[in-house]
Structure 1
Amino acid sequence: MAVTIKDVALRAKVSITTVSHVLNKTRFVSETSQQSVLAAVEALNYLPNAVARSLKGKNTKSLGMLVTTTLNPFYAEVVKAVEMYCYREGYNLVLCNTDGDFEKTDSYLKMLAQKRIDGVIIMCTEYDDNTVNTISSQNSLPMVVMDWGPIDQHLDRIQDNSFQGGYLATQYLLANGHTAIGYIGGPLDKLPALNRFNGFSKAMAEAKLDIQPHWVIESDFQSEGGRSAMAQILGLGQLPTAIFVANDMMALGVMCEAQKSGLKIPDQLSIIGYDNISFSAHFSPPLTTINQPKDRLARIAVNTLIERLRENRQLGRIHLIEPDLVVRDSVARLR
């Protein structure tokens, strides 16, 4: 037979109301009573009915998160940090891996709203803006969108300053004497990819250097996409001295393909990446890259969502996170 809150109250010799206040932290209870209740909970191995508590208290202490794929180390590192901050705040995390599937993402969003999740963190590109906006407004479901996503006054947004990141990466190559610079990026219909390319373009324009169209490849943010893009550049014959690759996963593919062809990095080809995923420091050679502070990104996302829940705030806010340069060994200085 399941242990009930009444059993806890009887063992602790307090009222059911007192047990409820101790467990939900809704009212001051004397230290003696708190200890009695907590001792009874432990002795009886009492597990509060989460559904009943959510119906009464209008919260489930659970947050949802939509992520494109946890196979990408960047997403995996952010998810790990989000889960840690949720746990610290007493929230469970319901993770939905969308695999880049539009219909799957749409279905997950509706499911999370129906399951009375307190709020949602969105870190994926594939969804219907109308679904997001409808769920956010009609269900009063707080949402935080990381980098990608719709612009809506009800949504909190956390954005990496991708334009500045692209600018920093290109400036570093220029400062090291490179003028023949290629670019391998993500799909330009995605805002972060477009911003990184625009940052690259600005730095090149300021240096009064023309961008060579045959050295600019639009890829898919995956390692195989990087490998394919590098093979395409190798097929041209004339190579740049450096390539800005707009994420570390593609940079891994670029480096593998370049080294397979016999090129030495950075002696014959310099590479700079973007994201600073944990194992980029262990590439051969270690990758110079633009750092997205993933722990800070996660902390702001969780805190923003919880603050909104506590304040019952309706209008969204925008948080801009500035990237920084991590110098390692994949960029050579030209004389």
Structure 2
Amino acid sequence: MATMKDVARLAGVSTSTVSHVVNNTRFVSDEIRERILKAVAELNYSPSALARSLKLNQTRTLGMIVTTSNNPFFAEVVAGVERICYQRGYTLVLCNTEGDPERLRHNLEVLLQKRIDGLLLMCTESHSASAEVFGQRPAIPIVVMDWGPLDSKVDRIQDNSAQGGYLATRHLLEQGHRKIGLITGPLDKLPAQSRLEGYRRALEEAGILFRPEYVVEGDFEFAGGIAGMHQLLALAEPPTAVFAGNDVSAVGVYRALYRAGLQVPQDMSVVGYDDIELARYLTPPLTTIHQPQEDLCRQAVDTLLDRIQGADDAPRLIMLEPALIQRESVRCVR
């Protein structure tokens, strides 16, 4: 394998001049640059990524820690982040936690050993566990993507879930529904809390009494949607519409209604949240709240790169605005 010394010898220049051309760190005349590039091509020389990372103290590698989940939203976000990283000339190293704080610690150790330049965090472990882990580690730039510790002094890219919950509930109200159920996510997580807040605000604005029995705590998973819908159907006065805290829960709702011999939207109107790709292929296609995934991924990566490049302003909170996507899962009952 050719070395920089081999290139310098063939081009008749010093190794430092070759380094300046390869790394584009100083002006070199066109004639000398051409000789060096010709030697590079002839010898098939490739600079050592390790040597360059040690010299520049950067590896052009980002880490991402994410909770393993059945929710396709996570997979779609990871794919989007990897695409943006590739466009920016960075490599992404992905680690899953499976909801285990110990795996969170282990994954962080592994990523630090790989000398990542910065970290994207999108995991649902308890806030105290996450804060404890990151509070004990060397400072590296971190951006939290919607899901993560609330008390971290780091940048956050966050969906306006309260507004999303409001939009979902208001749409059902506008279609004439007054008995509206809600299957939340885990209420120790910010997205679930915020979507419940938006639900309550829409009811209050419409003058509809909040009924605690219409709110069921779920887990943002398929099984939680099934169990939550069964619980609502067992009420003496079941709702006529359900706002599922995410699209995965809404899929569970569809399943529970099918088992009960009920149809969407004839017997029960359903609204989801996230607008995962699967939502448009359900029968009927699911009305849902669209999260701007592309913006989430781009803002997260670019904010992290700003920190890596030395931005030292106060931690940023970037709020992304959701939008209602109307399909065919809501019936007008006015």
Moved more, 14-23 or 100-109: 14-23
Equivalent residue, structure 2, for 1:66? 65
Deviations 1:79-104 (A, max 9, x none): 11111111111111010011111110
Equivalent residue, structure 2, for 1:332? 331
Q: For residue 48 of structure 1, report the CA deviation from its aligned partner.
A: 2.8
2:131 and 2:152 in contact (8 A); partners too: no
Unaligned stretches of 5+ residues in structure 1: none
RMSD of equivalent CA atoms: 2.1
Q: For residue 232 of structure 1, report the CA deviation from its aligned partner.
A: 1.9
Query: Which residue identity is paired with 1:228?
Result: A
Equivalent residue, structure 2, for 1:102? 101
Deviations 1:107-162 (A, max 9, x none): 21233223321000000021430221332xxx230000111233457411111111
Equivalent residue, structure 1, for 2:220? 221
The residue matched to 1:77 in structure 2 has which SS?
Answer: helix
Moved more, 228-237 or 24-33: 24-33
The residue matched to 1:66 in structure 2 has which SS?
Answer: strand
Output the CA distance in 1 between the equivalents of 2:70 and 2:14.
50
Deviations 1:263-289 (A, max 9, x none): 111111100000001121111111110
Distance 1:148 1:6, change over 3 A: same
Equivalent residue, structure 2, for 1:295? 294
Identity value in percent: 50
Distance 1:35 1:233, change over 3 A: farther
Equivalent residue, structure 1, for 2:130? 128
The residue matched to 1:95 in structure 2 has which SS?
Answer: strand
The residue matched to 2:309 in structure 1 has which SS?
Answer: helix
Output the CA distance in 2 between the equivalents of 1:101 and 1:14.
55
Equivalent residue, structure 2, for 1:257? 256
Distance 1:319 1:14, change over 3 A: farther
1:133 and 1:152 in contact (8 A); partners too: no
Output the CA distance in 1 between the equivalents of 2:69 and 2:49.
28
Moved more, 229-238 or 200-209: 229-238
Distance 1:14 1:104, change over 3 A: same
Output the CA distance in 2 between the equivalents of 1:17 and 1:41.
14
1:70 and 1:97 in contact (8 A); partners too: no
Output the CA distance in 1 between the equivalents of 2:164 and 2:33.
51
Equivalent residue, structure 1, for 2:15? 16
Equivalent residue, structure 2, for 1:198? 197
Equivalent residue, structure 1, for 2:185? 186
Equivalent residue, structure 1, for 2:304? 305
Equivalent residue, structure 1, for 2:56? 57
Output the CA distance in 2 between the equivalents of 1:73 and 1:7.
50
The residue matched to 2:156 in structure 1 has which SS?
Answer: strand
Distance 1:107 1:153, change over 3 A: closer
2:147 and 2:191 in contact (8 A); partners too: yes
Moved more, 54-63 or 10-19: 10-19
Distance 1:316 1:24, change over 3 A: farther
1:226 and 1:249 in contact (8 A); partners too: yes
Q: For residue 295 of structure 1, report the CA deviation from its aligned partner.
A: 0.9
1:63 and 1:118 in contact (8 A); partners too: yes
The residue matched to 2:68 in structure 1 has which SS?
Answer: coil
The residue matched to 1:264 in structure 2 has which SS?
Answer: coil
Query: Which residue identity is paired with 1:149?
Result: G
Output the CA distance in 2 between the equivalents of 1:226 and 1:242.
14
The TM-score normalised by the length of structure 2 is 0.92
The residue matched to 2:26 in structure 1 has which SS?
Answer: coil
The residue matched to 1:311 in structure 2 has which SS?
Answer: coil
Output the CA distance in 2 between the equivalents of 1:283 and 1:151.
34
Output the CA distance in 2 between the equivalents of 1:67 and 1:6.
43
Equivalent residue, structure 2, for 1:162? 161
Output the CA distance in 2 between the equivalents of 1:295 and 1:211.
35
Query: Which residue identity is paired with 1:328?
Result: R
1:226 and 1:251 in contact (8 A); partners too: yes
Query: Which residue identity is paired with 1:120?
Result: L
Query: Which residue identity is paired with 2:291?
Result: Q
Unaligned stretches of 5+ residues in structure 2: none
1:154 and 1:314 in contact (8 A); partners too: no
Deviations 1:231-253 (A, max 9, x none): 22223353211100010011011
Structure 2 residue 173 is the aligned partner of structure 1 residue 171: no
The residue matched to 2:203 in structure 1 has which SS?
Answer: helix
The residue matched to 2:93 in structure 1 has which SS?
Answer: strand
Distance 1:236 1:302, change over 3 A: same
The residue matched to 2:136 in structure 1 has which SS?
Answer: helix
Distance 1:14 1:295, change over 3 A: farther
Output the CA distance in 1 between the equivalents of 2:35 and 2:261.
72
Output the CA distance in 2 between the equivalents of 1:256 and 1:40.
65
Structure 2 residue 90 is the aligned partner of structure 1 residue 88: no
Distance 1:30 1:306, change over 3 A: farther
Distance 1:34 1:211, change over 3 A: farther
